[in-house]
């Protein structure tokens, strides 16, 4: 397939395995599920591809089947603010889809990823007809609110170890990202992009968290051993 094709031009029908990785499909009644599956599309995103772009109109409700995305925006000073990392199983942008407004953030692939999209008209049809889908979206909005409140708190933290711990805890949210499980496939550089620290400083933080028994660094990823401790972690500020 030509690399000159846009992400939208690369769209295709999802495979059975990709459909199995979409958490809300299993909450629908048979007729609702059949309609949704007929409308769902997936696309193979290359690193750096934009899934959503600020000021662009919403056309799909998106989810991550595989890979890792970053939700961010640039402030008035030109600095990038990262709102969230989006690992497998995560669906995002339901607020924008609900209001049918232009995006206020960018979503970009950090690595090769598979992204699913449900047309926004189908999204609204499910809201109008499916109790199971409404419950899923309501839980998403509730969890997302808590996530962004936590993100503001993380941004004000001066301790890098705590920043990394809380950011990792957010990526292991079982409601927002059910596809992650106990192991998150992520590199130190990718985590550094999400946390806003250098790769070297992230490595030091991961060493500290591993020594505390909260995580275990494994080949190609991280295993969480104590999610509660990650969420509530507090470390003394290290002297420079």
Give CA–CA dist 26/33, Å, rounded.
8
Beta strand 60-66 with 69-74: parallel, antiparallel or unpaired?
Answer: unpaired
How many Cβ atoms sit within 10 Å of the Cβ of residue 50? Answer: 16
Q: Which domains does the chain have, with CATH numbers?
A: 16-152 (2.60.120.10), 159-231 (1.10.10.10)
pLDDT digits (tens, 9 = 90+) for 36-86: 999 999 999 999 999 999 999 999 999 999 999 999 887 666 667 778 889
How many Cβ atoms sit within 10 Å of the Cβ of residue 210? Answer: 15
Model's pTM, two decimal places?
A: 0.83
Report helix, strand or coil for 67: coil
The yes-or-no verdict on residue 1 having pLDDT over 80 is: no
Beta strand 215-218 with 80-86: parallel, antiparallel or unpaired?
Answer: unpaired
Report helix, strand or coil for 69: strand
Q: What is the mean pLDDT of residues 225-234?
A: 82
Q: Tell me, what DSSP letter sits at residue 56? A: P
pLDDT digits (tens, 9 = 90+) for 95-117: 999 999 999 999 999 999 999 99
Report helix, strand or coil for 155: helix
Mean pLDDT of the chain: 88
Give CA–CA dist 128/220, Å, rounded.
42
The more confidently predicted of residues 5 and 95 is 95
Q: Is 7 exposed, middle or buried (0-12, 13-18, 19+ CB in 10 A)?
A: middle
pLDDT score for 166:
87
Confidence of residue 182 (pLDDT cuts 50, 70, 90): confident
């Amino acid at each position: 397939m030509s690399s000159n094709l846009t992400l939208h031009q690369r769209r295709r029908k999802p495979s059975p395995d990709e459909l199995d990785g979409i958490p809300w499909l299993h909450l629908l009644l048979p007729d609702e599920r059949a309609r949704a599956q007929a409308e769902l599309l997936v696309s193979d995103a290359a690193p750096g591809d934009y899934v959503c772009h600020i000021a662009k109109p919403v056309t799909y409700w998106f989810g991550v089947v595989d890979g890792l995305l970053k939700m961010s925006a640039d402030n008035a000073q030109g600095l990038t603010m990262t709102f969230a990392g989006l690992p497998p199983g995560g669906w995002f942008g339901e607020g924008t889809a609900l209001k049918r407004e232009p995006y206020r953030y960018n979503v970009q692939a950090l690595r090769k990823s598979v992204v699913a999209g449900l047309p926004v008209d189908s999204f609204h049809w499910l809201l109008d007809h499916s109790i199971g889908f409404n419950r899923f979206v309501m839980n998403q909005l509730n969890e997302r609110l808590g996530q962004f409140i936590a993100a503001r708190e993380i941004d004000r933290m001066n301790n890098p170890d705590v920043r990394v711990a809380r950011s990792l805890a957010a990526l292991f949210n079982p409601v927002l990202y059910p596809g992650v499980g106990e192991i998150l496939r992520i590199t130190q550089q990718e985590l550094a992009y999400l946390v806003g620290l250098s790769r070297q400083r992230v490595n030091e933080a991961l060493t500290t968290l591993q020594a505390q028994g909260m995580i275990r660094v494994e080949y190609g990823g991280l295993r969480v051993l104590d999610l509660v401790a990650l969420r509530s972690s507090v470390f003394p500020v290290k002297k420079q």
